[in-house]
Amino acid sequence: MTTLNTPKPRTADVIRSVAEALDVICRAQGIEVRDLDDAVIEKLLSSSFEEHLG
């Protein structure tokens, strides 16, 4: 929850967070990010930005 004292994350912060999450997911599954289905990446980005904008 964002309060007046808590700055809202910047778009770059959200993108960096998604990239880090993708890296962790891929390492856990033993695959490369480039091997992920585009739909998986799109869903993660979409949900991250919905939360960011929410």
Q: What are phi and psi of 45, to 5 degrees?
A: -60, -45
C-alpha span between 9 and 25 (Å, rounded)? 22
Report yes or no on 4 lying in a domain: no
Stretch (H or E) spanning 47: helix 38-53
Q: Structural domain tally of the chain? A: 1
- Listing DSSP states for 2-24 in one string gives --TTSPPPPHHHHHHHHHHHHHH
Report yes or no on 39 lying in a domain: yes
C-alpha span between 4 and 53 (Å, rounded)? 16
- For residue range 1-54, list pLDDT tens digits in order: 555 677 777 888 888 888 888 888 888 888 888 888 888 888 877 887 777 666
Q: Give pLDDT, residue 12.
A: 86
Report yes or no on 44 lying in a domain: yes
Report yes or no on 49 lying in a domain: yes
Do residues 9 and 48 lie in contact, with contact meaning Cβ atoms separated by under 8 Å? Answer: no
Look up the domain containing 19 and give its range.
Answer: 11-53
Q: Give pLDDT, residue 54.
A: 66
Report yes or no on 3 lying in a domain: no
